[in-house]
């Protein structure tokens, strides 16, 4: 009977949390700003896409390289990455800080729902608020369709999933900071510190290799970049969800009243230990799927079939600095694909500097060594077919015959008709009117 009452309380709690969220000026400010931000990104992207498509009467420039994912949707939803970094944390912090400051949290703890159920209701309310903020971005997708643009459903949904996971992680960090800090201002500083820390980790890990580079691949910016490239990576999804859950778990520990500080710290240490082990385990799977329409993250199918026959471990030693453009091309176009296909790949970055400007002549700079079954071969090329030919020679396997047809692009010389009126005028007015009606109704109720 007690569990049944809790189940009946959960919808009421979610409704209560969402109504409370609509009293937050931070959320209304987020709604107000996200329209012009997403609209400006969309309008600029459509104009640039039209120019590349030859809207002025000339031929389409590199039509095969024109993809709506890169040209339209990634720039448009880039506004949401900015919003979830700078605006949304204040919304998430408020759902905890406002009740702690007013003393309402102590009263809520007397309900039979329990702390986990109340935090779950807050998480659902934050999700609902974020989905409402997605309306301008989804309208941009509709506009693009009305203009006659192409939409590849798998890669578009994958991009939306990446932004959704980005919000879940930001919510977990903000809620944990609000539970640990004494005030909303302190929680905001902690959240900003976490974001800056991930940027520092990416900077330091560039070119380091090993576990540091592995950890940096799960930072919010790096994780989102994977989805923007049309790649669905199981480890990225799992690690991001676990990090968001870890934030809410820490919040549940510190929001319980009556526990001694020593008990809280013990539970925190245990939670950190458990989640550290879970995160390490979740980061190990290499399963990934290329959902991009043009298969940008994959080798030709014939090459993938041939590469999967190689069972011996592959050791790659790269003498290229982190800031060398050849290193970036090698990582993106070769190494990341090999890691998804071959069962055993070990990559060693042997360059001693970040730029490669001060490498000694005897440091082998620019060389890339491949080793399979004790056989070694050196190359300086980062071109796909040259690297694959080297691997086939080392593996003593015949190269396949590739006859794949280059996927067509999707040029569209269209103008963003009606978008400026909607995003710069109609959306701000609609949000302002809705906010005024919301606060006016609450004033007279």
pLDDT tens digits, residue range 387-410? 888 898 888 888 887 656 667 778
pLDDT tens digits, 163-172: 999 999 999 9
In a shared domain, residues 341 and 435: no
377, β-bridge pairs: 370
In a shared domain, residues 106 and 251: yes
pLDDT at 109: 75
Question: Quick check: 203 pLDDT over 50?
Answer: yes
- Mean predicted confidence (pLDDT) in 90-117: 82
**Contacts of 317 by beta carbon, 8 Å cutoff, 6+ apart:** 348, 350, 368, 369, 371
In a shared domain, residues 21 and 149: yes
pLDDT greater at residue 441 or residue 434: 434
- pTM here is 0.87
pLDDT at 37: 96
pLDDT at 270: 96
Is 400 within a domain? no
pLDDT tens digits, 335-375: 888 888 888 888 888 876 665 555 555 567 888 999 988 88
pLDDT tens digits, 218-274: 899 999 999 999 999 999 999 999 999 999 999 999 988 777 888 989 999 999 999
Question: Quick check: 4 pLDDT over 50?
Answer: no
> Is 84 within 8 Å of 126 (Cβ atoms)?
no
- Mean predicted confidence (pLDDT) in 377-393: 88
Distance CA 379, CA 383 (A): 10
The overall average pLDDT reported for the chain is 86
In a shared domain, residues 315 and 230: no
In a shared domain, residues 391 and 420: no
204, β-bridge pairs: none
The residue range of the domain holding 87 is 2-290+415-444
Number of domains forming the structure of the chain: 2
In a shared domain, residues 263 and 320: no
In a shared domain, residues 365 and 420: no
SS (H, E, C) 240-275: HHHHHHHHHHHHHHHHCCCCCHHHHHHHHHHHHHHH
Is 301 within a domain? no
pLDDT at 443: 61
Neighbours of 44 (CB within 10 A): 13
Is 303 within a domain? no
Is 405 within a domain? no
Return the closest-CA partner of residue 383 out of 299, 314, 265, 289: 299
In a shared domain, residues 233 and 88: yes
Question: Quick check: 177 pLDDT over 90?
Answer: yes
Is 299 within a domain? no
Strand duo 314-318 + 288-290: pairing: unpaired
Question: Quick check: 1 pLDDT over 60?
Answer: no
3-state DSSP call for residue 286? coil
- Mean predicted confidence (pLDDT) in 32-46: 95
Tell me the CATH number at 352: 3.40.30.10
pLDDT greater at residue 276 or residue 354: 276
Is 408 within a domain? no
In a shared domain, residues 231 and 325: no
In a shared domain, residues 319 and 428: no
First and final C-alpha spacing in the chain: 34
């Amino acid at each position: 009977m007690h569990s049944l009452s809790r189940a009946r309380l959960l919808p009421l709690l979610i409704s209560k949390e969402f109504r409370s969220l609509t009293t937050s000026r931070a959320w209304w400010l987020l709604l107000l700003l996200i329209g012009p931000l997403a609209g400006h990104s969309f309008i600029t992207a459509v104009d640039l896409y039209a120019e590349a498509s030859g809207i002025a009467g000339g031929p389409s420039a590199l039509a095969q390289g024109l993809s709506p994912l890169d040209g339209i949707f990634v720039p448009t939803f880039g506004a949401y990455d900015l919003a979830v970094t700078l605006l949304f944390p204040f919304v998430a912090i408020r759902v905890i800080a406002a009740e702690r400051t007013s003393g309402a949290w102590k009263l809520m703890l007397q309900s039979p729902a329990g702390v986990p159920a109340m935090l779950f209701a807050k998480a659902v309310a934050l999700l609902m608020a974020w989905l409402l903020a997605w309306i301008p971005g989804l309208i941009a997708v509709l506009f693009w369709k009305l203009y006659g643009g192409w939409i590849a459903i798998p890669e578009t949904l994958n991009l939306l999933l990446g932004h959704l996971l980005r919000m879940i992680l930001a919510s977990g960090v903000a809620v944990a900071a609000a539970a640990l800090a004494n005030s909303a201002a302190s929680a905001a500083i902690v959240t900003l510190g976490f974001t800056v820390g991930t940027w520092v980790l990416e900077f330091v890990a560039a070119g380091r290799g090993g576990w540091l580079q592995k950890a940096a691949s799960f930072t919010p910016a790096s994780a989102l970049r994977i989805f923007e490239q049309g790649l669905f990576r199981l480890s990225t999804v799992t690690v991001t969800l676990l990090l968001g859950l870890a934030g809410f778990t820490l919040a549940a520990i510190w929001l319980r009243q009556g526990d001694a500080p020593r008990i809280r710290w013990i539970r925190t240490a245990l939670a950190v230990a458990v989640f550290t082990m879970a995160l390490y385990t979740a980061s190990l799977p290499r399963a990934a799927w290329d959902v991009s329409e043009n298969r940008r993250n994959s080798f030709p199918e014939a090459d993938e079939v041939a590469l999967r026959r190689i069972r011996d471990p592959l050791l790659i030693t790269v003498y290229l600095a982190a800031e060398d453009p050849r290193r970036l091309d090698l990582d993106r176009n070769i190494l990341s694909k090999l890691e998804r296909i071959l069962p055993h790949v070990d990559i060693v970055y042997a360059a001693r500097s970040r730029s490669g400007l001060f490498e000694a002549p005897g440091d082998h700079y620019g060389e890339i060594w491949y080793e399979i079954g004790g056989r070694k071969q050196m190359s300086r090329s980062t071109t796909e077919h040259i690297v694959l030919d080297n691997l086939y020679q080392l593996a003593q396997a015949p190269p396949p015959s590739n006859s794949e047809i280059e996927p067509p692009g999707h040029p569209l010389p269209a103008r963003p008709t009606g978008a400026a009126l909607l995003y710069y005028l109609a959306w701000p007015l609609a949000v302002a009117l809705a906010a005024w009606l919301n606060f006016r109704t609450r004033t007279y109720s």
